[in-house]
Amino acid sequence: MIKQERFYQLFNSLPQTEKDHIVRTAIELSAQFQNNSVTELMRACHYHATEAMRTFRLKKQRIHHATRYAALRYAMMCQCTRTLHAA
């Protein structure tokens, strides 16, 4: 698994407007992932975080993967919260 600090460094290196756009898009996209299991969400998070780091110099791809990563993390957090409340 990649180190989260490196991904956060990547995210924090973006201009504030890009970070805001990524977060807004991620929240909208997370609705698409509501029916996925936590395992599927974790696997997809890892993939998109890895790809965002690998494509660091390719801005469009980096933003694509960073947005998907943020959406998946948000969906995973919501899924875990629902599971905890149901228990």
Q: What pLDDT, in 10s, does the model give residues 35-78?
A: 777 778 778 878 877 777 777 667 677 777 777 777 777 777 88
CA distance 21 to 81: 24
- For residues 46 and 16, the model is more confident at 16
How far apart are the C-alpha atoms of 44 and 11, rounded to whole Å?
Answer: 17
Q: Is pLDDT of 1 > 60?
A: no
For residue 41, the model assigns a pLDDT of: 77
Tens digit of pLDDT for each residue in 46-57?
A: 887 777 777 766
Place 34 in a pLDDT band, splitting at 50, 70 and 90: confident
What pLDDT is attached to residue 2?
52
The domain locations on the chain are 4-86
Please name the amino acid found at residue 42.
Answer: M
Using alpha carbons, select from 84, 85, 78, 83 the residue that is nearest to residue 33: 78
Query: Are 49 and 3 spatial neighbours (Cβ–Cβ below 8 Å)?
Result: no
